[in-house]
Structure 1
Amino acid sequence: MSDSEDDGPPQLSPHALAALQEFYAEQRLRADPGADEKYNIGIIEENWLSQFWYSQETALRLAQEAMRAAGDGGRIACVSAPSVFQKLRELQGEGASACIIFEYDKRFAIYGDEFVFYDYNKPLDLPDRIAAHSFDIVVADPPYLSEECLQKTSETIRFLTRAKVLLCTGAVMEEEAARLLGVRMCKFIPQHTRNLANEFRCYVNYDSGLD
């Protein structure tokens, strides 16, 4: 990642973004009639920045768990977890304001105030409108499998959450995740649309529905 927001992906108007996404969808469907079901989670799809989208089933399970944990009227923060964010919006309906995505991919700016540009290298560089401990649960998926990335992302998580954390990262990060966030590994194993080289797991610090 760059230290400058200006080094992010090209900025397109919402109209241009919609046209581009339609083009990608048409190309996928021509090559594979089942591609739309496999890859399309929401308006924005897995094609830039080497992102790894969750499968439809995993995105749904994590979104449902986040809603359950947050409770009625609760606030949910998705830190580098775009497919969960889009599934949450789908479940809650258009215009839902209970969920905010913290994401480096500026395509998500089409969501307006529900988007916060986020660079894990600057874990507390957040807009003033984001108050400390203002989210009932934080769903986080650090973009890189490294101790440095987890440490910095954990700073963001601790700032945002009132208490609950749902972390998705590699199994090799179990001890570091427990040390930084007091989380434990769940039985539920998340799946992605692409096969990952490293074993991936979920971690929580509360009584969840993922065990």
Structure 2
Amino acid sequence: MDDDDDGVPQLSSHTLAALQEFYAEQAQKSTRDSESDIVSVDEDWQLSQFWYSDETARSLAKEAIDACGENGRIACVSTPSLYQKLKELSAEGVTVYLLEYDRRFSVYGEDFIFYDYNDPLNLPERLEPHSFDLVIADPPYLSDECLRKTAETVTYLTKGKVLLCTGAVMEDLALSILGLKICKFVPKHTRSLANEFRCYANYPLALDSLL
């Protein structure tokens, strides 16, 4: 630094570049924060996580917002990619919780509820029984045990409306334990899966009317 230029200090090119980089990062962070508070988390196949395609996630998110109504409450049980899309759409007045085993999603703060389907009713007191306008579930495994235990959670949380995404092989069990019927809408994933997946619900899906 010298005082030859009317006493105005001069930054070195290295310092100036570092300062510009810092301001650029802050601007990007500000933009992300203003657009959405959600942080993207990648799927983990070892935890049987398979993200919906963007089109499916968006369609289901819009369905959920429509189904829960103004100031509604939505519980996403083992459906993190749908939770992410719901938060991205930022429906005003709609409350969304994510019940998920993967603790990486604790970055979502109070919206995240640690959930293990093996202990289906081990839930915090703030999740009062029958307090959600819509419960959406996607059990991590295609097994009777997993669906039955997840159904205990769903039944505890829901006021009535339930939307389930799981394998086509679970159709009979979904009907017998939750009264859910198969829908026309077929969910897609970002990766090809060996098993056919379908949606099930106990109310008429707005999505089905578009098909």
2:198 is paired with a residue whose SS is strand
Distance 1:159 1:51 in 2: 24
Equivalent in the alignment of 2:13 = none
Matches within 5 A, 1:12-27: none
Q: Number of matched residues?
A: 170
Distance 1:68 1:97 in 2: 10
Matches within 5 A, 1:35-50: 43-47=40-44, 49-50=47-48
2:206 is paired with a residue whose SS is coil
Distance 1:42 1:202 in 2: 26
CA change 1:96–1:90 in 2 (3 A) is farther
Q: Does structure 2 conserve the Cα–Cα contact (< 8 Å) formed by 1:97 and 1:114?
A: no
Q: Does residue 53 of the first structure (1) align with residue 51 of the second (2)?
A: yes
Distance 1:91 1:61 in 2: 11
Deviations 1:39-83 (A, max 9, x none): xx9511224634100000000011110100000100000000000
Q: Does structure 1 conserve the Cα–Cα contact (< 8 Å) formed by 2:163 and 2:201?
A: yes
Equivalent in the alignment of 2:149 = 152
Q: Which runs of 4+ in 1 moved over 2 A?
A: 47-50
Matches within 5 A, 1:1-211: 43-47=40-44, 49-92=47-90, 98-211=95-208
| Structure 1 unaligned regions, length at least 5 | 1-40
Q: Does structure 2 conserve the Cα–Cα contact (< 8 Å) formed by 1:89 and 1:96?
A: no
2:99 is paired with a residue whose SS is strand
Distance 1:124 1:97 in 2: 24
Distance 1:149 1:161 in 2: 18
CA change 1:154–1:51 in 2 (3 A) is same
Q: Does structure 2 conserve the Cα–Cα contact (< 8 Å) formed by 1:171 and 1:200?
A: yes
Distance 2:151 2:81 in 1: 20
Distance 1:115 1:179 in 2: 30
Shift of 1:99: 0.1
Equivalent in the alignment of 2:28 = none
Q: Does structure 1 conserve the Cα–Cα contact (< 8 Å) formed by 2:70 and 2:93?
A: no
Percent of pairs with identical residues: 62
CA change 1:172–1:67 in 2 (3 A) is same
**Structure 1 vs Structure 2 CA RMSD:** 1.7
TM-score, scaled relative to structure 2: 0.77
Shift of 1:107: 0.7
TM-score, scaled relative to structure 1: 0.77
Work out which of the two has the higher radius of gyration on C-alpha atoms and give 1 or 2.
2
Distance 2:104 2:126 in 1: 21
